[in-house]
Amino acid sequence: MKKILLTALLALFIPLQACAQEQWKKGEHYQVINDNATAKPEIIEFFSFWCPHCYNFEPIVKNLKSKLPEGTSFQKVHVNFMRSASPKTQDEATRAMMVGRALKREDALNLAIFKYIHVQKSSVASLKDLQNVFIVNGVEPADFDKMANSFGVNSMVQKNNKIFGQYRKNLSSVPSFIVNGKFKATFTRDMTPDDMVDLLVWLTKQK
């Protein structure tokens, strides 16, 4: 009797599993951009503080991070090809983001920069403007200056720009998500936020 029940359960499970695999289609929901996947599962979000879609995507990213399989890494990489600010100013925003990362307050300070630009409608012309955002959010001016010019932050900025350069040819807009160094997610109009998260999580399991 137990064998019959087990067989019946497996018969139900296999079609459901196959259905999940067929839900996401190559060329429609993701592109293959490299031959080989990374050794460990990872998601890289390429974004810009000047991108309103990136700002609106933040709740989805928060949900995604809570659902990533154990051992999967997630990181944001800031780009500088937006037309709404000069490349130099966008590079300064990358540096500010790395200060937030070094202070272990990246998520909160990223959100503060987003709100400064998209909610308060304030302009950013220099690193000083971004420093003021940090000061309002409890960072001491001296600490910001020290971190902004530190070896650690310089190294993180270089790493950000190296990853950006590595995938630049695959980026036409932001936010863009590269998964396992091999797949680029494509979000269609009929997808819900939960669908987007499910796609990204599914891609982390692909080789």
Task: Please tell me the chain's helix, strand, coil percentages from 3-state DSSP, rounded to the nearest 5.
Answer: 55, 10, 35
* Inside any domain, residue 14: no
* Inside any domain, residue 200: yes
Question: Residue 97's Cα: distance from chain center in Å?
Answer: 13
* Inside any domain, residue 1: no
If DSSP codes are grouped into helix, strand and coil, which group holds residue 126? coil
Is the pLDDT at 74 greater than 90, yes or no?
Answer: yes
Is the pLDDT at 2 greater than 70, yes or no?
Answer: no
One-character DSSP codes across 7-75: HHHHHHHHHHHHHHHHHS-BTTTEEE--SS--SS-EEEEEE-TT-HHHHHTHHHHHHHHHHPPTT-EEE
Closest by alpha carbon to 118, among 133, 96, 104? 133
What are the two backbone dihedrals, phi and then psi, of residue 166, each rounded to the nearest 5 degrees? -65, -35
Q: How confident is the model at residue 3 (pLDDT cuts 50, 70, 90)?
A: low
φ/ψ bin of 84: left (φ > 0), alpha (ψ from -120 to 50), beta (otherwise): alpha
pTM assigned to the model: 0.89
* Inside any domain, residue 126: yes
Query: Per DSSP, what are the bridge partners of residue 47?
Result: 78
* Inside any domain, residue 12: no
Average pLDDT for residues 165-169, to the nearest whole number?
98
Q: How confident is the model at residue 88 (pLDDT cuts 50, 70, 90)?
A: very high
In terms of residues, how long is the chain?
A: 207
* Inside any domain, residue 2: no
Is the pLDDT at 6 greater than 80, yes or no?
Answer: no
CATH number of the domain that 69 lies in?
Answer: 3.40.30.10
Q: How confident is the model at residue 21 (pLDDT cuts 50, 70, 90)?
A: low
Q: Whole-number mean pLDDT of the chain?
A: 93
* Inside any domain, residue 9: no
pLDDT one-digit tens code per residue, 53-64: 999 999 999 999
Q: How confident is the model at residue 12 (pLDDT cuts 50, 70, 90)?
A: low
Q: Which domain holds residue 158?
A: 25-204
Closest by alpha carbon to 49, among 13, 14, 76? 76
Asked whether 203 and 180 are in contact (CB, 8 A), the reply is: yes
Going from the C-alpha of 171 to that of each of 50, 84, 124, 176, 205, the distances in angstroms are 16, 17, 24, 7, 22
* Inside any domain, residue 35: yes
Count of the separate structural domains present in the chain:
1
d(CA 193, CA 168): 25
Contacts of 166 (CB under 8 A, 6+ apart): none
**Which token pair is 69?**
């399989």
Asked whether 120 and 86 are in contact (CB, 8 A), the reply is: no
